[in-house]
Structure 1
Amino acid sequence: MKVLAIAGSNSEVSMNKHLVSYAASIFGEKAEVEVIDLNPFEMPIYKHERELANGVPQEAKDFAAKIDGANLLLVSLAEHNGTYSTAFKNVFDWVSRIKDRTVWNEVPMLLMSTSPGGRGGAGVLEAAGKRFPFHGGNVVETFSLPFFNDNFDKAAGKISNEEKDKELREKLIKISAIETILEK
């Protein structure tokens, strides 16, 4: 099984990258896992005239190829003002312009978010949960981790809140449909 873990942020210290990296680590050596953030996929801000003049950037095609090579997506989105980060939205916009494809290509997905506040990225999860299915998003489960600084141990690289950790593991089992693939 190939798992692509996407941190929907371009921050060098992204809490969503911490979360998605931890979720991916639960698979252990029983899956081929790749964790990416948006920095290698930075492109000019989408503009129709830019697309007409230069076509779709190679970075968008590379991002799409990573999705196409995965059996499972773990996507953890940063929330900026109640929705996606600008960096994520730009990658999303460019990939949506690739001819004859949907952005997510129907690959099963666990959609996640975390934030320092009590809503845990609820706004971006709602926005993505509504929008992604129109772009080939097969959102099987969602997971929110509120109060990141209280519920995640960055030094250990894992969720410190036992209840939230159990919830994440249960959702990973459901989405992967293979309980034995997860580390106990």
Structure 2
Amino acid sequence: MRRLIFFGGAGFLLLFALSFVKPASAASSTMYTWTPSKLYKTASGAAYSRNVNSGTAVTVYSKSGKRYKVKAGGKTGYIYADNLTRSKVKKEDYFGSKIYKQAAGGPYVASVPAGKMMYIKMEATKNGMYLAHVIGTGYSGYVDKTHFIKPVVKYTWMPSKLYTSAIGN
């Protein structure tokens, strides 16, 4: 009788533990392209298939080297891991920005006018820069995170002078 209770309890625990394991075929997830990307037919990138626009949701199946196996727009292929992000974050540049090659600043890629939309790949770096792609352009790089704060409009209540420096010159 004790053996029956022991094997019955052990069987119940085994079934309980297996109920939390996902089958391998259900291991897909959704990610987003934050910059325009190429979809390759092979993991080695030897055969190009098509372009995938920034902001496109893709189903990710596995990773092979530096590329993910994905399904995008009805086609299955491989995209560079660096071109994907877990969340689709889109922000409007309110002040106009320079797109820098590096998070530390230095040489810049382009100037972007205020009002342009960008996809942001990651949280701000230590010095307050987002890795971003300007939608509708080929520009990607680092942008100051303070350029995405919606400005507050304030009015002068009497005629005022606008100075070019803080000391009033």
User: Normalised by the shorter chain, which TM-score bucket?
Assistant: under 0.3
Structure possessing the higher radius of gyration over alpha carbons:
2
Q: Higher relative contact order by CA 8 Å / sep ≥ 6: 1 or 2?
A: 1
Higher helix share: 1
Higher strand share: 2
Relative to the length of structure 2, the TM-score reads: 0.20
